[in-house]
Homo-oligomer: A and B are copies of this chain.
Amino acid sequence: MDFIRQVFSIRFEYKVFFTAHLFDGSNDAFRSFIREGKEPGVVRKILFVLDNGFLQHHDGLVQQIKNYFKDEKGIRVIEEMVIVPGGEATKNSAEHLEKILEAVNEHGIDRHSFLVAIGGGSVLDVAGYAAAVAHRGLRHIRVPTTVLSQNDSGVGVKNGINYFNKKNFLGTFTPPVAVFNDSHFLTTLSDAEWRSGISEAVKVALIKDAAFFTWLEANAKRMVDRDMTTMQYQIRRCAELHLQHIAGADPFETGSSRPLDFGHWSAHKLEQLSDFTIRHGEAVAIGIALDTVYSFLSGRLKEEPMMRVLRLLKALGFPLTDRLLEVTDEKSPLLLGLNEFREHLGGRLTIMLLRGIGEGEEVHEVEPALVKEASEWIRKHSLVKA
């Protein structure tokens, strides 16, 4: 049959900057990024979307941003910034997406303008989605303000909102044009928020980098004690491994393999069961513990590395299981979560397990009886949350 073959490649490039005091007048990084490659006579507009939860602790930020740009002739900051709630709530309806799109329309934000999102992962997700679909794509800059978004989701290429009560039912793979990680923004996090993003570092170390895992073991206490230099190294290395994985494999996830989802199948279910009162990072720690013990019980992983994983998670202050994941029969929510994960991925079930520290193995079958056993094993070994 007659056909024309269409082939082309799109090159994506962006930098993840590590800085502090991003909108301090003396820090030129953000301004100079906006100026870059500007055509003469064109005024670049910037629409800011801000996380209300974050703003509570940084109430001078709006004014600081306006001052930061006040002498820039070629840059126009839209006075009226869009403020949305932080956390999963902002993704749970189309309301906040709609609010951002309205501002894009009202202020004439076009494909050469910037939409800058400052906040936690959920705010970046909804703002990133708005930026991806308005005018078929605005220039989107991410400024993640939590450990979890600075070391993981915020530096990646996904966005989305929940719809029909399904997590990330709507979304796209759309790389930002830049990411700015500001360590100063982390100083106002609660201890639980501060800690919760570290589980993604444990995850990526376990499947990609044994040396980083050893580093995490050695530095767990310093991180828990809120040593900023240590935390910054963790964030930078985790972000780097995350970015390397995206660039190296299948950035827009056309296949079934998702190694970065190690520990995530049960984590997603747990977040949903808890009505998102359990943080993503905490749920991931529990998911890592479960799949690590499953790896041991299924004969893939030795006892010693398993114990190292569980000890590290405990040292970081994570509970290792939750009563919501208790398996009583085959209709237990945890086991149903396995099927939902398959549906979410599409195609063949593909789950990452461990053969050793820094060495993953993808499997296409998971034994429900062994999942139950893993869940009970963790409980029995007195690693249970009080």
Known: A6-B247, A132-B172, A345-B110. A29 touches B13 (CB 8 A): no
Known: A41-B348, A42-B347, A169-B135. A101 touches B9 (CB 8 A): no
Residues of B within 8 A of A9 (CB): 9-12
Within A269-311, which residues are at the interface with B (CB < 8 Å)?
none
Chain A, residues 158-198, CB within 8 Å of chain B (1/0): the string is 10100110101111110100000000000000000000000
B6 to A39, Cβ gap below 8 A?
Answer: no
Whether a CB of chain B sits under 8 angstroms from the CB of A25 is no
A346 to B7, Cβ gap below 8 A?
Answer: no
A136 to B113, Cβ gap below 8 A?
Answer: no
A253 to B4, Cβ gap below 8 A?
Answer: no
Known: A105-B169, A345-B110, A347-B112. A4 touches B240 (CB 8 A): yes
**Which of A16-24, A115-123, A201-209, A312-320 contacts the other chain?**
A16-24
Residues of B within 8 A of A112 (CB): 256, 346-347
Cβ 8 A contact of A133, one of B1, B5, B170, B243: B170
Whether a CB of chain B sits under 8 angstroms from the CB of A55 is no
A13 to B5, Cβ gap below 8 A?
Answer: yes
Q: Which residue of B lies closest to A252 (CB)?
A: B10
How many copies are assembled? 2
Known: A19-B1, A136-B171, A137-B252. A247 touches B8 (CB 8 A): yes
How far apart are the CA atoms of A253 and B1 in the complex, in Å? 31
Chain A, residues 138-173, CB within 8 Å of chain B (1/0): the string is 000000000000000001001010011010111111
Known: A10-B10, A111-B253, A343-B110. A17 touches B41 (CB 8 A): no
Whether a CB of chain B sits under 8 angstroms from the CB of A215 is no
Whether a CB of chain B sits under 8 angstroms from the CB of A331 is no
Whether a CB of chain B sits under 8 angstroms from the CB of A239 is yes
- Pick 29 A–B contacts, CB within 8 A, sort by A: A1-B17, A3-B15, A3-B16, A3-B18, A4-B155, A4-B243, A6-B243, A7-B11, A8-B12, A10-B10, A10-B251, A39-B347, A41-B348, A101-B164, A101-B170, A105-B169, A110-B343, A110-B347, A111-B253, A111-B254, A111-B345, A111-B347, A132-B172, A133-B133, A133-B170, A134-B169, A135-B171, A136-B172, A172-B172
Write the residues of chain A forming the contact surface with B, with a CB cutoff of 8 angstroms: 1-19, 29, 39, 41-42, 101-102, 105, 108, 110-113, 132-137, 155, 158, 160, 163-164, 166, 168-173, 175, 236, 239-240, 243, 246-248, 251-254, 256, 343-348
Which 4 pairs between the two chains have the least Cβ-Cβ distance?
A: A110-B346, A112-B347, A111-B346, A112-B346
